[in-house]
Amino acid sequence: MSDQQSCATHDQNHAVKHNIVAIRHRLEQALHRAGRPTGSAALLAVSKTRPAAILREAFEAGQRLFGENYLQEALEKQQALKDLEDIEWHYIGALQSNKTRDVAEHFSWVHTVDREKIARRLSEARPASLGPLNVCLQVNISGERSKSGVTPEALPALAEQVLALPGLRLRGLMSIPAISDDPEQQRIPHAALRELFEQLVRRYPQAPLDTLSMGMSSDMEAAIDEGATLVRPGTAIFGSRD
């Protein structure tokens, strides 16, 4: 590696640590403004496309939860970072049947369960020694924009099926709403997801439902205003992905 390269890497690492501190502050400010307790929402650092060394820097700055979208890339980074004992891996990418075994074996959480077949395969593939896999159901909350995600209408039936699977622990809901740069517009899909979550909690008071996974770099505040318990910033921590 040339001096120039190592210097660039150093600056980038320094930026990540700085950004972790800044985003924690941003999150606490948002919670405070929303009248919510400190620490009532967690930060999932979305690290797709970032090299393992950068994740390690974030870990050294205190970050523990990492979200990955691409299975092969994630497995390679997990291998490179296996010395980090309390790192927690969340799978937030598209799920096909041929990925369920690796996801069930190598992640603590999956945020993108949106159909029964995938849920059943994840449950069957989950090693008993790891305990149930934590899952959020992905809801297609803005309708047309994304094809993944269960519709709000089909959500109750899917929740019922997932609750019956021994290898899964249903923790809550997740969404990727249509993009808007207007904070008031941003709140609408987040409020809709919260509503669906509250209905689920009323319907299944015994279920371990405690997670609303919503809000990314540009709509974190709106998500916190609407009750997000897990926000998923990527670019705000690691820079743009181009």
Ligand X SMILES: *Cc1c(COP(=O)(O)O)cnc(C)c1O
The residue ranges that bind ligand X (CB under 6 A) are 46, 48, 69, 92, 176, 216-218, 232-236
Between 12 and 217, name the residue whose CB sits nearer to ligand X. Answer: 217
Instruction: Look at residue 151 and give its three-state secondary structure.
Output: coil
Rounded distance, CA 27 to CA 40, Å?
10
Tell me the closest approach of the beta carbon of residue 204 to ligand X, in angstroms: 25
In angstroms, the CA 111 to CA 146 distance is 15
DSSP code at position 99:
G
Report the nearest approach of ligand X to the CB of residue 57 (Å): 17
Query: What is the 8-class DSSP label of residue 177?
Result: P
Tell me the residue type at 155.
L
Least spacing, CB of residue 73 vs ligand X, in Å: 13
Q: Which is nearer to ligand X, 216 or 224 (CB)?
A: 216
Residue nearest to ligand X (CB): 234
Q: Which is nearer to ligand X, 176 or 209 (CB)?
A: 176
Q: Give min distance, CB of 203 to ligand X, in A.
A: 26
**Least Å from the CB of residue 47 to ligand X:** 9
Q: Give residues with Cβ within 8 angstroms of 90, minimum separation 6.
A: 44, 65, 66, 67, 68, 107, 108, 109, 110, 111
Residue 92 or residue 110: which is nearer to ligand X going by CB? Answer: 92
The neighbour count for residue 220, using CB atoms within 10 Å, is 23
Name the residue nearer to ligand X (CB basis): 72 or 129: 72
Nearest alpha-carbon partner for 87 in 111, 57, 117: 57
